[in-house]
Amino acid sequence: MGRRRMTGPDAATRRLVWERDGGACAWCGGPVWEGDHSLQHRRARGMGGTRRADANSPANLVLVHGSATTGCHGEIETHPAEAARRGFRLGQWADPAEVPVLYVGAVWVRLGHAGEWEAQVNAA
């Protein structure tokens, strides 16, 4: 029997990301309501999932409106160049804890694997 592939983040990680992001969309800054949000994987899991341990790390996840086809999450998916410029999409080789993300188009933030964050000065 093959090794199981990881699926989405567990409930504790989801809560941690929600709290870290203040219940607001990291892309636009608007408040996020239960049922109207998702977690964007900055480095995609790929078709069928992944075995990488940090795939569901808080450093790889940001809270956004909508789903992969709606809201801000849909914007991220349909505008990959802009999403990459802002750190919302990363290449498969990237460590999400090493690449800052531009929150609300205004503040560069480095996210940690344990849920911590640090604002970056001159991160662009």
Q: Which residues contact 23 (CB under 8 A, 6 or more apart)?
A: 31, 32, 63
Roughly how many angstroms between the first and final C-alpha of the chain, as a whole number?
A: 45
Residue 124, pLDDT score = 56
Whether 4 maps to a domain, the answer reads no
Number of domains making up the chain:
1
Give the mean pLDDT of 82-89. Answer: 97
Q: Which helix (H) or strand (E) holds 109?
A: strand 107-111
With a cut of 90, say whether residue 1 has pLDDT above it: no
The parent domain of residue 49 ranges over: 11-119
pLDDT higher at 6 or 52: 52
pLDDT band at 2 (very low <50, low <70, confident <90, very high): very low
The reply to whether 27 falls in a domain is: yes
Helix (H) or strand (E) holding 62: strand 61-65
Is 124 within the bounds of a domain?
no
SS3 call for 68? coil
Nearest by Cα to 83 from 95, 68, 93, 97: 68
Q: Each residue of 95-123: pLDDT tens digit? A: 999 999 999 999 999 999 999 999 987 65
pLDDT at 36: 83
CA gap 34, 43 in Å, rounded: 24
pLDDT tens readout for residues 24-66: 999 999 999 887 899 999 998 765 556 677 889 999 999 999 9
Both structure tokens of 114 = 């344990």
